[in-house]
């Protein structure tokens, strides 16, 4: 995804870091490309909306050396929530602003507030989902949630939306030659979510955690599974104890598997029926991408170093796929 430009997210971030720019500013410049891309339905402008058809965005960022952090959740009307998260970090005494308060803050900081962040594509996809459920019945809340989830999964199976866009998120972490490590996570969250639902992405310790002396970890995938164990924090703590990024990430995935016992969340093999992925880097620049499932070559993460940008295969914890 380059939004019509020459450079991808990781190439932009790497170029900024090599120029000597602040690492976090470089990473955010990278994710801004995808947030602003109308063709990408996982984050920012044109991200898949909530159940009411409203795009609500979440993001957080952490600066390792400065030991600062900021986040926004359920933010409407601003295409680049990662920049608002950074403004929370830079200009407030707080770590997280949500909903209308976050939007008012963004307006006061000079961000453009738009009525609607849907593109024609995200609106059409929402309409398709809406047609598949019958909100008039409202049955009991559980059945309605199941119906909504089922309709979303059917759309994935029919190739109308990408599986990764259902919980679509970007996490981008980086380190420079001084060992300055930073990270940012940005998302439009779970497609067709209950309005106000916030996943892991803007929550420090869940969607992202950075310790300037150790490294960074961030996630994509089913936010609820990650929130339950604050897995990015866990991963950084595992690295503090000397674990390699891959082993630290795998430990978090094992915890998620162990904590997943509700039948509705299990496939017919008794394993989680969703995916979660972690992207992990330490201060030395060693990195890993791990995933509950990584069934084929399309399960990759992007890396950019002095040798250029490339995809690396995600290491999977479990055989097969989430569907069974
Ligand atoms: N990981 C993104 C979300 O669950 O909202």
For the cut 70, the answer to whether the pLDDT of residue 139 exceeds it is no
Residue 67 pLDDT grade (very low, low, confident, very high; cuts 50, 70, 90): very high
Residues annotated as catalytic (active site), given as ranges: 169
Cα angle: 287, vertex 320, 149; to 5 degrees: 95
Q: Give the distance (Å) from ligand 1 centre to CA of residue 256.
A: 15
| pLDDT tens, position by position, 279-290 | 999 999 999 999
pTM above 0.85, yes or no: yes
**Mutation test residue for ligand 1: of 201, 224, 276, the one with most atoms within 8 Å of CB:** 201
User: Can you give the residue ranges of every domain in the chain?
Assistant: 9-116+163-318
For residue 219, the ligand 1 atom closest to its alpha carbon is 1
Q: Is the CB of 56 under 6 A from ligand 1?
A: no
Contact 49, 56 (CB under 8 A): yes
The full 3-state SS of the chain, as one line of letters, equals: CCCCCCCCHHHHHHHHHHHCCCHHHHHHHHHHHHHCCCCCCCCCCCCCCCCCCCCCEEEEEEECCCCEEEEEEEECCCCCHHHHHHHHHHHCCCCEEEHHHHHHHHHHCCCCCCCCCCCHHHHHHHHHHHHHCCCCCCCCHHHHHHHHHHHHHHHHHCCCCCHHHHCCEEEEEEECCCCCEEEEEEECCCCCCCCCCCCCCCCECCCEEEECCCEEEEEEECHHHHHHHCHHHHHHHHHHCCCCHHHHHHHHHHHHHHHCCCHHHECCCCCECCCEEEEEEECCCCEEEEEEECCCCCCEEEEEECCEEEEEECEEEECCCCCC
Q: Is the CB of 187 under 6 A from ligand 1?
A: yes
Q: Is the CB of 198 under 6 A from ligand 1?
A: no
Q: Give the distance (Å) from ligand 1 centre to CA of residue 205.
A: 13
The Cα–Cα gap between 29 and 20 comes to 14
| pLDDT tens, position by position, 140-182 | 555 666 777 778 778 777 777 777 677 779 999 999 999 999 9
- Residue owning the nearest CA to atom 4 of ligand 1: 223
Return the pLDDT at 47.
Answer: 97
Residue 289: phi and psi, rounded to 5, are: -125, 125
Q: Is the CB of 299 under 6 A from ligand 1?
A: no
For the cut 80, the answer to whether the pLDDT of residue 264 exceeds it is yes
Sequence-distant (6+) residues with CB within 8 A of 122 are 41, 46, 47, 48, 49, 55
Q: Is the CB of 166 under 6 A from ligand 1?
A: no
Return the pLDDT at 135.
Answer: 53
Q: Give the distance (Å) from ligand 1 centre to CA of residue 199.
A: 5
For residue 199, the ligand 1 atom closest to its alpha carbon is 5
The Cα–Cα gap between 181 and 174 comes to 6
Contact 164, 191 (CB under 8 A): no
Fold of 9-116+163-318: 3.60.20
Return the pLDDT at 138.
Answer: 38
For residue 190, the ligand 1 atom closest to its alpha carbon is 5
The Cα–Cα gap between 157 and 14 comes to 35
Q: Give the distance (Å) from ligand 1 centre to CA of residue 316.
A: 19
For residue 58, the ligand 1 atom closest to its alpha carbon is 5
């Amino acid at each position: 995804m380059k939004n019509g430009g020459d450079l991808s997210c990781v190439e932009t971030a790497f170029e900024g870091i090599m120029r000597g720019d602040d690492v976090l500013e470089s990473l955010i410049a990278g994710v801004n490309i995808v947030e602003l891309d109308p063709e990408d339905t996982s984050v920012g402008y044109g991200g898949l909306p909530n159940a009411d058809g409203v795009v609500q965005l979440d993001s957080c960022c952490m600066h390792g050396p400065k030991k600062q952090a900021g986040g926004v959740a359920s933010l409407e009307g601003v295409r680049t929530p990662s920049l608002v998260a950074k403004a929370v970090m830079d200009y407030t005494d707080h770590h997280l602003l949500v909903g209308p308060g976050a939007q008012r803050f963004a307006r006061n900081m000079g961000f453009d507030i738009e009525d609607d962040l849907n593109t024609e594509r995200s609106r059409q996809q929402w309409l398709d989902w809406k047609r598949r459920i019958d909100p008039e019945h409202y049955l009991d809340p559980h059945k309605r949630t199941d119906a909504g989830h089922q309709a979303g999964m059917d759309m994935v199976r029919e190739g109308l939306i990408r599986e990764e866009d259902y919980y679509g998120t970007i996490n981008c972490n980086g380190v420079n030659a001084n060992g300055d490590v930073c990270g940012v996570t940005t998302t439009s969250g779970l497609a067709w979510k209950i309005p106000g639902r916030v996943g892991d992405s803007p929550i420090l310790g869940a969607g992202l955690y950075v310790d300037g002396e150790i490294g960074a970890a961030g996630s994509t995938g089913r936010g609820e599974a990650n929130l339950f164990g604050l897995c990015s924090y866990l991963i950084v703590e595992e690295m503090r104890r000397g674990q390699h990024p891959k082993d630290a990430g795998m430990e978090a995935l094992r915890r998620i598997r162990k904590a997943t016992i509700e039948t509705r969340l299990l496939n017919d093999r008794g394993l989680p029926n969703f995916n979660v992925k972690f992207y992990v880097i330490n201060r030395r620049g060693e990195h890993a991408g791990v995933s509950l499932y990584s069934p084929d070559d399309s399960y990759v993460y992007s890396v950019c170093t002095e040798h250029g940008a490339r995809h690396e295969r995600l290491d999977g914890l479990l055989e097969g796929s989430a569907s069974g």
